[in-house]
Chains A and B, each alone.
Chain A
Amino acid sequence: MNSVKSTRSLIALLIMLAMLLFVSGCSKSDDDEVADDNSGGGDSAPATVKYTPSGNEGQINGTVTLNGTAPEAKKISMDADPACAANNPNPIVEDVVAKDGKLQNVFVYVKDGKTADGKSIAGLSFDTPAEAKVLDQKGCHYVPHVLGIQIKQKLTVTNSDPTTHNVHPGPAKNPEWNQSQGPGAPPIEKTFDRSEVLIPVKCNQHPWMKSYIGVLSHPFYAVTGADGKFEIKGLPPGTYTIVAWQGKYPEKSQSVTVGVKEVKTQDFAFDASGATASIEGGSLKMMPAIEFPMPMKH
């Protein structure tokens, strides 16, 4: 009888256990939910951190020079529009403007890098300057030839000429526009929302008119003056890649570390005999003959 009893109790036990398991199994999901409750939702994307000046900012100064003889400045024929010549008796092409080996119109900017406390410069946000940048059309030239601007900063385009221009930037990442501006017309006001270096600007009626706008998320850029000098101020201590863009020659890049309140000097030299920058050639991937069509209404 003993064995019988033990068998019985064993079975009973097993069943009890099994039921217990069921019960516990049933209640398990409820536990999960509680755990879920406060934790739903995803982490939001890392927001940009507002940069507040600490007073330790440094500065980068430098001169951009051109080794070798600068190409002879080509004269532009403005016969097509007599109004142009009136304002600009001696128009020359501005792709290389050099005097005594000093290069003008070079866009020097912080491409990327990290501050001393490890923050990426791209992850910082800076106050949008209240004052607008001005791009003037004078003597059928864009003034300045190269312009730096911060994202969301206002760009004012004015026309000082007695002729009509159209302002036509060709951005890759910002929306494109092309606006006519007659003599005496009110200024065109625009902003760029994404950083892009550099956006070419042209006037379709005066094909020689070219300007370049460098749009950055931060204020650390400068355009060299006639003396080839530039100054990038207010730079938080850190290590950065500084790029000098000239347009005709391949761009130059340097890594620069700026210490607390340090004024660093970083010169750039372009080579007049060197290869000219060109987007042609290079290894380009095979282009598909077949394009993905976009929705079309019918």
Chain B
Amino acid sequence: MAETPADADALVKKEPEAVPAKDPIVSTSTSGILLVSALLLMAVLAWALYDEAYGQRPWKDMQRTFVARETSYLKRLKRNGNQTEKEVKESPEYQQLASDAQTAKEAAEPERKEIEEKVRVIDQQLAAITDDFQNKRGKITVANYKIETASASAKDKLRREVEQERQEQIKIKMPADDGSGRTEEQKFTYPELETKYLQLKDDKAQLLAHQADVLKNYNDLAKKRDEYLKDHITGLTDDQITKLIERNNHFDYTLRQINVTDANIVDRCETCHLGIREPLTITPATLKLRGKKPDEDARAFVSHPSKELLQIHDPEKFGCSSCHGGNGRATTDVVKAHGLNPFWLHPLHERDNMEAGCQQCHSNDRVLDFAPNLTLGKDLFQQRGCVGCHRFEGYDRETDGLSNARQTIKQLEEQMTTNDRESRQAVAASATVTDDAEAQKLLARAEKLKVDNSQIAARIEQLNTQSRYLMQDQKKVGPNLKDVRLKLRKEWIPVWLQNPQAFRPGTKMPTFWYLNEGHELSKKYGDKADQERKAIAAYLWQSAFEGQVSKQDAGNASHGEELFKTKGCMACHSIGDADNQVGGTFAANLQRVGEKANFEYIVRWIYNPRERWSPYCPKEKRDLTREDYEKNNKPYVFDTGMHSKCPNDGAELQVQNMTVMPNFRLSQEDARDLATYLFSLSSGHTSYPDASYMDDPNLKNQGFTLIKQYGCAGCHEIKGFEEEQRIGKELTAEGSTPIERLDFALMTQPAEQGLDPLTLKKTDSSGKKVSEWYNHKGFFEHKLTDPSIYDRGKEKDWKDHLRMPQPYLTPEWKTALTTFLLGSVGPEGANVPASMFYNPKDRGRDIQDGWWIIKKYNCMGCHTVQVGQKSVLSTLPQFQTQDGKEQLPPALTTEGARVDPNWLLRFLTDPSLSGGGSSSGDLTAPGHTGMSGANGSSSPQPSAAERMLAGESGASGNQPRSRANANNADFQPQPGANHNGVRLYLKPRMPTFNFSPNELRTLVRFFLAVSSQQEPYIKEQLEPLTDQERNLAREIFGSRSAPCLKCHLTGNPEHDKSASAPNFLMASERLKPGWTFRWLLDPQRVIPGTAMPSDLFKKDGERWVFNSTEQFKSAENYHGDEAQLLTRYILQLTPAEQARLASSSPSAPSGRTQTGDNQNTTAASSTHHARRNHEKQSRFKHQASARAPSPASESQRARDPAIIAMVRHLSLNLAP
């Protein structure tokens, strides 16, 4: 501190030396510093207190806000009288129930009172004696103990004392039995007292039991009344509301924490998100401030949107962050709690990608309930061909299965060799040991090893069969490019390669920028793109099969159109140009197929898409030719049945086109008509630039290198690339890649700053605001939108650029795929231990395995497989009318419960049920016809009956088969042509998928598992009908009230024209009795919207009786369940019985077929049918033997085809 000059002068007289140095103690003051420090300390204290109370606990405010808002909401609910409860209580139904309950209560009242009085008296009496009794008992027990411990001499004396004690009279003031309150003194010895005591207790128990009986009626009614109330109010009851308000009034403002020790989860989310598990449903609108939009708080307080989901994933066991991500421990601010701060590994999933959280535990589920978006992502990954380049664990089911099987076989073979050796050694050793027992032991061991080997051999055999079919099950996303010369117009190929989206918007074929010189990136490389395209086209053209598909005449386009729109083609394919596409997106849009393809090839393809031009031998790694067969003296025939092996070396061949497109069993004419229709959709022969360079052999080698580099073989079969590996990165755990290892390249900065990569502004080209995207979601989304985005601005060599082409993806698809990728973190990247992952077992596993097949073949394009799921067909305009809806393929939601699994297996093998396919094991696909139509095949020729059946062509009403035409070479015969197996009246046709036995098994198991059915299925033995029962059933069936035969097929062509339900004759083989019974009672509960009406039966006491005003003679004295009776009748129906019904029923029309005529196709087909079935039944021996022999009833006769034929013939001949 400086002195002022005036002070200095005053002291100047003193000697300067004498002046003591300034004493800091008196001359300076630290009070300023102290003050400042004190104040600072105060401030820090204040801050610390504040921070402790509020700064670190912002959630306290949240809780207060919640309590205030919820309380006010609850109070309002209460004030408004909680409408629903009041309304329900005022409803006549409730009043009725309430008064019933009251009446019952009053009726029981006198007796209840009487009992109550008696119990009261007993209680008094008990009270009077209990103390004395227990005292006495105590004394005697003590005395007995004394005897036990006393010396032998003293015992007798003590015993006498005890006896005395027992006989001593006890005076008790016993209340009178009449309950008047009077007491009378009685005397009891101990044994008497004990008897009395026990008796009173007994009486009381009896009375109470009786009271419960008396009140039972009232209690039941009261329960009914309360349940009615519960069933009819949607919200909370007044009681519940009051309780909640009460809770809020004494709200415990504290941290709410879930602690899952095993999984190391500590989640405090509910500290702020207080509404999550509230009993009332809170939406943002519920707790918003009056007159304002829902604010952040209102959104934070919502209850969990799916109570069902929370039930499965109890938060007490799973926490919150395990599904949602975020930092469950953080409570100091929103950013931290949601894990949105840098370097937190598991940020909260955004709303759009919420279901990513499901994937980390449910990566093994192909279809996940409650996660439609994720499931869509999984679908797309497969269907759009991502899997062609990127491996993802679980997706290569066939390939992985194949290599696993091969590896296992190798191991097993080694095991067999070892066993053999050990067995030999044991035998040898047994000869040398001296001890007999030891020798026997060794021999037993040798024996065991031998038997083991036989078991291993059986296993190897299974695996071999399996792997044979696994090869057949492998499919490609894109078409077979070995066929391009047969299929395509040459000049079109380079046009397509340049920009597939331009030719066919929405196609699965992605756009390769390096084949499109118009693309921004390729511009700076001059005409390089053009050259590469030419080279690729040249390779494809020159490597493809040479040949010519047999000539086909044009057909009838309008008939083709009808077929296209009704047969089910549109479940997968769409037509219409870019903005007007109608149909499914599973397969290609066919609007412009006429501009690119050969008519003949398309006809052949439609006729049977699986028919391969030439088989491929994986062992020789080449396509076989006719010469290979001739060389080995074998006919040039290949199919999935008996002709699947290589003539040169016996290796399993690729004998089918690797397509999922099934065979619709169309006649050749129909195939021609369909192709003609498709060709009529486009303008026809557009001219394309000259492409003669495609024959330039110099380009071929270059093309080969490029195809290898761009990974075309991921989706296509290309000659020379059959064994090609994927070129893309494996994505199984892509979501857990650390952010710094996702190469944003020059986009890092824009991503961090939230700039659009194209405009480099805060808004994108359409003016939408862009937010920061330096995260996984941002990376995936931008990559999917434009895969070359992270190459922007980079100086690279042409071939070093990112290779991923640009797929066609709608915004929803992008979100779904992003969700899928975000959630795919693998066990390392998950925020829960792997022990929490869901591994479906047993039925769950069967279901998931089944989903792979269902999705692979797009079963959901035609069928409703899950309740509420809409098939593609059901959304098409031609299926919107009421009649149209009834043409939709059947819903399969209860299929496993409905049909006999053995029948299902047969049906899936051959949906025409006409014997085209056969039992598992020899699946036949029509082989190759060659070009001339000369049929060198030894494939089974269709029988006369089959031809007739094909010619009959029930519902489709097409032209007669086989026109004589020299130009139209006939294809292989089509077994089961133009024929639906069950629902002959449906226009859509269940096609033949040529499922392999692997797939058939998986599918059947799927349906069984979904319907909780056990396997193997053991057919229930039905009680044969008594005469009375048969008569009654006949009467009901024939009555005016039961028009069953009006709609159900009978096999009479005249009648079947207007029929709309399956033939009862199929029921015995096809249906399960339990399902049939439930179906009869209320079909609308099984398949809502079905044409089968409900209310056919009504309840009469405990049994169901037919709902009719008519009197049935045979119903007198019949006390059985009539619905059960009809079930048994239907399931045991024979052709003779049906014919009898048809002739007597007023509801079945006349117009019966001519008798005894050879052209009676019905008789022929059904006889044939029966014969086929018989053959099949004997094939399915294991199944037949599982059934108990049936009694000699009509159902027995039904099995004998000869009798059926005879009976049928007779009945037809005798018909008037």
- Which residues of B, 1092-1110, contact A by the 8 Å Cβ criterion? 1092-1096, 1107-1110
Question: Measured between C-beta atoms, what is the minimum distance from A160 to chain B in Å?
Answer: 13
- Which residues of B, 569-602, contact A by the 8 Å Cβ criterion? 571-572, 574, 579-587
Contact of A40 among B70, B872, B1090 (CB under 8 A): B70
Chain B residues contacting A295 (CB-CB under 8 Å) are 308, 369-370, 866
- Which residues of B, 11-47, contact A by the 8 Å Cβ criterion? 32, 35-36, 39-40, 42-43, 46-47
B870 adjacent to A80 (CB under 8 Å): no
B867 adjacent to A182 (CB under 8 Å): no
Chain A residues contacting B1010 (CB-CB under 8 Å) are 296, 298
B582 adjacent to A287 (CB under 8 Å): yes
Cα-based distance from A163 to B1145 in the complex (angstroms) = 12
B289 adjacent to A204 (CB under 8 Å): no
B582 adjacent to A284 (CB under 8 Å): yes
Question: Measured between C-beta atoms, what is the minimum distance from A248 to chain B in Å?
Answer: 13
Chain B residues contacting A1 (CB-CB under 8 Å) are 1
A interface, over-half SS = loop
Chain A residues contacting B370 (CB-CB under 8 Å) are 295
B1043 adjacent to A164 (CB under 8 Å): yes
B65 adjacent to A170 (CB under 8 Å): no
Question: Measured between C-beta atoms, what is the minimum distance from B1094 to chain A in Å?
Answer: 6
Question: Measured between C-beta atoms, what is the minimum distance from A170 to chain B in Å?
Answer: 4
- Which residues of A, 20-38, contact B by the 8 Å Cβ criterion? 22, 25-26, 29, 32-33, 36-38
Residue in A closest to B77 when the chains form the complex, CB atoms: A41
Residue in B closest to A16 when the chains form the complex, CB atoms: B39
Question: Measured between C-beta atoms, what is the minimum distance from B1090 to chain A in Å?
Answer: 7
Binding stretch for chain B, among A92-100, A101-109, A173-181, A256-264: A173-181
Cα-based distance from A166 to B1042 in the complex (angstroms) = 11
B585 adjacent to A288 (CB under 8 Å): yes
User: Provided the pairs A4-B32, A177-B1094, A296-B867 are in contact, do residues A33 and B65 lie with their beta carbons within 8 angstroms?
Assistant: yes
User: Provided the pairs A15-B43, A80-B1149 are in contact, do residues A178 and B1093 lie with their beta carbons within 8 angstroms?
Assistant: yes
A80 adjacent to B286 (CB under 8 Å): no
Residue in B closest to A5 when the chains form the complex, CB atoms: B32
User: Provided the pairs A162-B1040, A298-B1009 are in contact, do residues A36 and B68 lie with their beta carbons within 8 angstroms?
Assistant: yes
Question: Measured between C-beta atoms, what is the minimum distance from B614 to chain A in Å?
Answer: 31
A72 sits at the interface (CB 8 A)? no
In the complex, which range does the number of interface residues on chain B fall in?
35 or more
A133 sits at the interface (CB 8 A)? no
Chain A residues contacting B881 (CB-CB under 8 Å) are 200, 279
A36 adjacent to B69 (CB under 8 Å): yes
B1022 sits at the interface (CB 8 A)? no
Cα-based distance from A279 to B878 in the complex (angstroms) = 8
Q: Mark B864-908, 1 if CB is under 8 A from A, else 0.
A: 001111111001111011110110000000000000000000000
A205 adjacent to B872 (CB under 8 Å): no
B1014 sits at the interface (CB 8 A)? no
Q: Which of B285, B572, B1009, B1041 has the most CB of A within 10 A?
A: B1041
Contact of A178 among B65, B367, B844, B1084 (CB under 8 A): B1084
- Which residues of A, 257-298, contact B by the 8 Å Cβ criterion? 279-284, 286-296, 298
Contact of A43 among B65, B290, B1042, B1108 (CB under 8 A): B290
Residue in B closest to A184 when the chains form the complex, CB atoms: B1109
Cα-based distance from A83 to B1041 in the complex (angstroms) = 12
Q: Which of A18, A82, A183, A296 has the most CB of B within 10 A?
A: A296
Cα-based distance from A182 to B1111 in the complex (angstroms) = 13
Chain A residues contacting B878 (CB-CB under 8 Å) are 280
Residue in A closest to B47 when the chains form the complex, CB atoms: A22
B61 sits at the interface (CB 8 A)? yes
Chain A residues contacting B587 (CB-CB under 8 Å) are 289
User: Provided the pairs A36-B68, A205-B1046 are in contact, do residues A26 and B869 lie with their beta carbons within 8 angstroms?
Assistant: no
Chain B residues contacting A294 (CB-CB under 8 Å) are 369, 866-869
Residue in A closest to B292 when the chains form the complex, CB atoms: A39
B47 adjacent to A182 (CB under 8 Å): no
Contact of B39 among A11, A41, A82 (CB under 8 A): A11
A12 sits at the interface (CB 8 A)? yes
User: Provided the pairs A41-B287, A183-B1040 are in contact, do residues A80 and B1046 lie with their beta carbons within 8 angstroms?
Assistant: yes
Cα-based distance from A61 to B582 in the complex (angstroms) = 42
Question: Measured between C-beta atoms, what is the minimum distance from A178 to chain B in Å?
Answer: 5
Residue in A closest to B816 when the chains form the complex, CB atoms: A290
Chain B residues contacting A185 (CB-CB under 8 Å) are 1041, 1107-1109
Contact of B872 among A281, A282, A291 (CB under 8 A): A291
B73 adjacent to A178 (CB under 8 Å): no
A138 sits at the interface (CB 8 A)? no
Question: Measured between C-beta atoms, what is the minimum distance from B848 to chain A in Å?
Answer: 9
Residue in B closest to A175 when the chains form the complex, CB atoms: B1088
Contact of B289 among A40, A184, A284 (CB under 8 A): A40
Q: Which of A177, A179, A295 has the most CB of B within 10 A?
A: A295
Chain B residues contacting A32 (CB-CB under 8 Å) are 65
Cα-based distance from A22 to B53 in the complex (angstroms) = 12
User: Provided the pairs A286-B506, A286-B574 are in contact, do residues A37 and B581 lie with their beta carbons within 8 angstroms?
Assistant: no
Chain A residues contacting B308 (CB-CB under 8 Å) are 295
Chain A residues contacting B53 (CB-CB under 8 Å) are 26
- Which residues of A, 154-202, contact B by the 8 Å Cβ criterion? 162-164, 166-168, 170, 176-185, 200, 202
B430 sits at the interface (CB 8 A)? no
A8 adjacent to B289 (CB under 8 Å): no
B861 adjacent to A204 (CB under 8 Å): no
Q: Mark B826-863, 1 if CB is under 8 A from A, else 0.
A: 00000000000000000110010000000000101100
Question: Measured between C-beta atoms, what is the minimum distance from A297 to chain B in Å?
Answer: 8
Chain A residues contacting B1107 (CB-CB under 8 Å) are 180, 182, 185
A79 sits at the interface (CB 8 A)? yes
User: Provided the pairs A163-B1043, A200-B881, A284-B877 are in contact, do residues A29 and B64 lie with their beta carbons within 8 angstroms?
Assistant: yes
User: Provided the pairs A15-B42, A180-B1107, A183-B1109 are in contact, do residues A287 and B1089 lie with their beta carbons within 8 angstroms?
Assistant: no
Question: Measured between C-beta atoms, what is the minimum distance from B92 to chain A in Å?
Answer: 15
Chain B residues contacting A37 (CB-CB under 8 Å) are 68, 72
Cα-based distance from A81 to B1058 in the complex (angstroms) = 12
Chain A residues contacting B36 (CB-CB under 8 Å) are 8, 11
B869 adjacent to A39 (CB under 8 Å): no
Cα-based distance from A178 to B1092 in the complex (angstroms) = 7
User: Provided the pairs A82-B1146, A205-B1043 are in contact, do residues A12 and B858 lie with their beta carbons within 8 angstroms?
Assistant: no
A289 adjacent to B844 (CB under 8 Å): no
B288 sits at the interface (CB 8 A)? yes
Chain A residues contacting B291 (CB-CB under 8 Å) are 39, 43
- Which residues of A, 58-96, contact B by the 8 Å Cβ criterion? 79-83
User: Provided the pairs A170-B885, A205-B1047, A279-B880 are in contact, do residues A287 and B287 lie with their beta carbons within 8 angstroms?
Assistant: no
A53 sits at the interface (CB 8 A)? no
Chain B residues contacting A166 (CB-CB under 8 Å) are 1093
Cα-based distance from A34 to B1051 in the complex (angstroms) = 80
B61 adjacent to A29 (CB under 8 Å): yes
User: Provided the pairs A36-B69, A202-B883 are in contact, do residues A19 and B1094 lie with their beta carbons within 8 angstroms?
Assistant: no
- Which residues of B, 1166-1208, contact A by the 8 Å Cβ criterion? none
Chain B residues contacting A79 (CB-CB under 8 Å) are 1149-1151
B1147 sits at the interface (CB 8 A)? yes
B872 adjacent to A280 (CB under 8 Å): no
User: Provided the pairs A178-B1092, A288-B872, A296-B866 are in contact, do residues A281 and B877 lie with their beta carbons within 8 angstroms?
Assistant: yes
* A-B pairs, 3 with minimum CB distance: A40-B72, A289-B586, A166-B1093
- List 5 extra interface pairs beyond A26-B54, A37-B72, A42-B294, CB under 8 A: A11-B39, A43-B291, A162-B1040, A207-B1058, A294-B866
9 A-B interface contacts by CB (under 8 A):
A26-B50, A32-B65, A40-B68, A41-B288, A43-B290, A200-B882, A204-B886, A284-B877, A294-B868
Q: A-contacting residues of B (Cβ < 8 Å)?
A: 1, 32, 35-36, 39-40, 42-43, 46-47, 50, 53-54, 61, 64-65, 68-73, 76, 285-291, 294, 308, 367, 369-370, 372-373, 375-376, 379-380, 383, 506, 571-572, 574, 579-587, 843-844, 847, 858, 860-861, 866-872, 875-878, 880-883, 885-886, 1009-1010, 1040-1043, 1046-1047, 1058, 1060, 1083-1084, 1088-1096, 1107-1110, 1146-1147, 1149-1151
